Amino acid sequence: MISDPQTIAQIRQRFPFLPEPEDELMRHFLAHSNLVRLDPQQPICQEGMQCSHLALVLNGTARVFKLGENGREITLYRVGPGESCILTASCIISQRPFPAFAVCEEALKAVVIPAAEIQQWMERYPPWRAYLFGLVSERLGDVISIIEAIAFQRVDRRIASLLLKRATSGNSRQIHLTHQEIASDLGTSREVVSRILKEFESRGMIHASRGHIDLSDLKALEEKAQEQ
């Protein structure tokens, strides 16, 4: 049960679809929810597990990814503040096992709700149902974009796009990112990433050092990301 006023205020700030505390949905939400904190790199869910709770993230980031037979990873999406994991919600609704892996990237604070309540609220509360359906629509678009990128875009374009996206989200030209992390995000090998980054560096687009990449020429990277 959640009763702390500051926590309640943060929940409503992150998830504005939730009503005032006096509303029936919010009363049930607070009565059946608990607050959890997880450390960086702590596993959240393994492929094949049954999902017993849905987490609504208040702070931090989780990464959801698939692991291939060859050991390579590919990021499906990340779950950040004000978001939830659609695969977890889908597994709860369909009562199927979780089809991927999830791990904390940053220290994570979240509200967790039991699966039984998720299913009941879907039937009883239109705002909750609308939230989950909206989540499905948004995340489905993300996954389709990943499939399109893998099928139709060269790896160098995808790396350029990733670097630009990270620079924008972090508001800095210096990105803290290893070659292996890029490879895991994009579902390719570290050797391929290293070769392409070396090419970018030789053309003055970036400067790479251990665990860091400085974006030297944003215009050239943008042109690379848009190449056909």
Check whether residue 104 and residue 33 sit in a common domain.
Answer: yes
Count of structural domains, the chain? 2
Check whether residue 57 and residue 108 sit in a common domain.
Answer: yes
Check whether residue 117 and residue 180 sit in a common domain.
Answer: no
The pLDDT value given to residue 49: 93
Give the residue-averaged pLDDT of 133-160.
81
Residue 143 lies in a domain: no
Question: Is residue 145 very low, low, confident or very high in pLDDT (cuts 50, 70, 90)?
Answer: confident
Range of the structural domain that residue 218 is part of: 154-226
Residue 62 CA from chain centroid, whole number? 6
CA distances from 56 to 59, 152, 217 (A): 9, 33, 38
Give the residue-averaged pLDDT of 134-139.
79
The pLDDT value given to residue 208: 86
The pLDDT value given to residue 70: 78
pLDDT of 139 over the 80 cut: no
Check whether residue 100 and residue 177 sit in a common domain.
Answer: no
3-state secondary structure 38-82: ECCCCEEECCCCCCCEEEEEEECCEEEEEECCCCCEEEEEEECCC
Give the residue-averaged pLDDT of 10-15.
93
DSSP string, 147-200: HHHHHHS-HHHHHHHHHHHHHHHHTSSEEE--HHHHHHHHTS-HHHHHHHHHHH
Q: Tell me which amino acid residue 168 is.
A: T
Question: Is residue 202 very low, low, confident or very high in pLDDT (cuts 50, 70, 90)?
Answer: very high
pLDDT of 185 over the 80 cut: yes
Check whether residue 168 and residue 113 sit in a common domain.
Answer: no
Check whether residue 83 and residue 16 sit in a common domain.
Answer: yes
**204 close to 220: Cβ distance less than 8 angstroms:** yes
This prediction has a pTM of 0.79
Residue 134 lies in a domain: no
pLDDT of 42 over the 80 cut: yes
32 vs 69, higher pLDDT: 32
Q: CB-based contacts of 119: which residues, under 8 Å, 6+ apart?
A: 92, 93
Residue 209 lies in a domain: yes
Check whether residue 93 and residue 183 sit in a common domain.
Answer: no
Check whether residue 27 and residue 107 sit in a common domain.
Answer: yes
Q: Which of 74, 56, 101, 78 lies closest to 169 in space, CA to CA?
A: 78
Backbone torsions φ then ψ of 50, nearest 5 degrees: -85, 135
142 vs 226, higher pLDDT: 226
187 vs 29, higher pLDDT: 29
**162 close to 186: Cβ distance less than 8 angstroms:** yes
Residue 212 lies in a domain: yes
The pLDDT value given to residue 102: 95
The pLDDT value given to residue 112: 95
Residue 136 lies in a domain: no
The pLDDT value given to residue 196: 93
Residue 148 lies in a domain: no
Q: CB-based contacts of 10: which residues, under 8 Å, 6+ apart?
A: 58
Mean pLDDT of the chain: 89
Mark which of 83, 113, 128 sits at the end of a domain: 128
Kindly list the strands in the beta sheet with 212-215, ordered across the sheet, starting from the edge strand earlier in the chain. Answer: 174-176, 212-215, 206-209
**Could you read off the pLDDT of 70-129 as tens digits, one per residue?**
778 888 888 999 999 988 988 888 889 999 999 999 999 999 999 999 988 988 999 998
Residue 145 lies in a domain: no
